[in-house]
Amino acid sequence: MLTDFYFNIVTSLIYEKTGIVFDGKKRYFVENRIKEHMEEIGTTSIKDYIYRLKTDKEVLKEFISKITVNETYFYREYYHLKALSKIIQDEFRSVHLRILSIPCSSGEEPYTIAIILSEVLGIHSRFEVIGVDIDKNALEKAVKAVYGRRSVYKLPSEYLDKYFDKRNDGWVIKPFLKRKVKFYEGNILDKQFLNRLGTFQIVFCKNLLIYFDENSRARAVNNLYDLIQDGGYLFLGHAESLSRASSLFEPVKVEGSIVYKKPAEDEDEW
């Protein structure tokens, strides 16, 4: 359907806006999404479509939402949650804990983190979890906080009873937990936006960097470095290693999994 010329224009635009790389292997996927979106906005001309993508923010956002992979679920990568509990108990028991989940997709990861914090510290302790994602449609689901069986299947049943209400349309997060989690639409490559969030002791950045190239990955990791307080931690997905940017953080093993620690200032000194 698309010539190389137009395929390259669309994928370059997506790369520029999100950091995500779509190569020839993803061509079929990208073409289908474009076709679907062109039908939805009522155009049959690819030139007109590209013009709309470039000039209408809402059209671009909708397209980004179509091509992002939002796969997520509660209690994903349990070994990381064990590491999180251990770090909180050992190092952050008595501070006002701020944790960032970027990207948070439809909210399962930040709510899982809030459940772990409630279990370890108690629901009334001072903590907040911030979820950020570029996809406004995923964030709408996060704010609604209603989840189907596929999202909760890994969650221990005692947590389902404790933190969710069962309704006809699914399991909904109870208000006392929901209050602890805030969501913002934003881009991991947008430094100005990130700076407005303040700083965090712990940042989860899982299952995003695998879609980036080396350049966007380094930009994202540099941005996160600035958000993490000295002595704080970065959690990455199991398939993601820090490669070049790993010089910034120190990989440490906690409860059997690797997490990345930002050295405290004086640890840098000789």
Ligand X SMILES: C[S@@+](CC[C@H](N)C(=O)[O-])C[C@H]1O[C@@H](n2cnc3c(N)ncnc32)[C@H](O)[C@@H]1O
Give the binding site for ligand X (CB under 6 A): 18-20, 68-72, 76, 103, 105, 109, 133-135, 138, 187-189, 206-208, 237
The nearest distance, CB 228 to ligand X, in angstroms, is 16
With tokens 């689901």, the residue in question is 141
* Cα separations in angstroms, 25 against 13, 32, 50, 207, 216: 17, 13, 21, 19, 19
The nearest distance, CB 46 to ligand X, in angstroms, is 24
The nearest distance, CB 191 to ligand X, in angstroms, is 12
The nearest distance, CB 96 to ligand X, in angstroms, is 23
Burial class (CB in 10 A: 0-12, 13-18, 19+), 53: buried
Residue closer to ligand X (CB basis): 120 or 138: 138
d(CA 242, CA 260): 9
Q: Is the dihedral of CA 177, 192, 234, 140 positive or negative?
A: positive
Residue closer to ligand X (CB basis): 121 or 138: 138
Burial class (CB in 10 A: 0-12, 13-18, 19+), 50: middle
Residue closer to ligand X (CB basis): 134 or 203: 134
Residue closer to ligand X (CB basis): 128 or 135: 135
The nearest distance, CB 107 to ligand X, in angstroms, is 9
d(CA 243, CA 19): 17
Residue closer to ligand X (CB basis): 34 or 205: 205
d(CA 26, CA 44): 22
* Cα separations in angstroms, 58 against 63, 68, 231: 9, 15, 39
The nearest distance, CB 194 to ligand X, in angstroms, is 10
Q: Which residues pair with 147 in a beta bridge?
A: 171
Residue closer to ligand X (CB basis): 105 or 201: 105
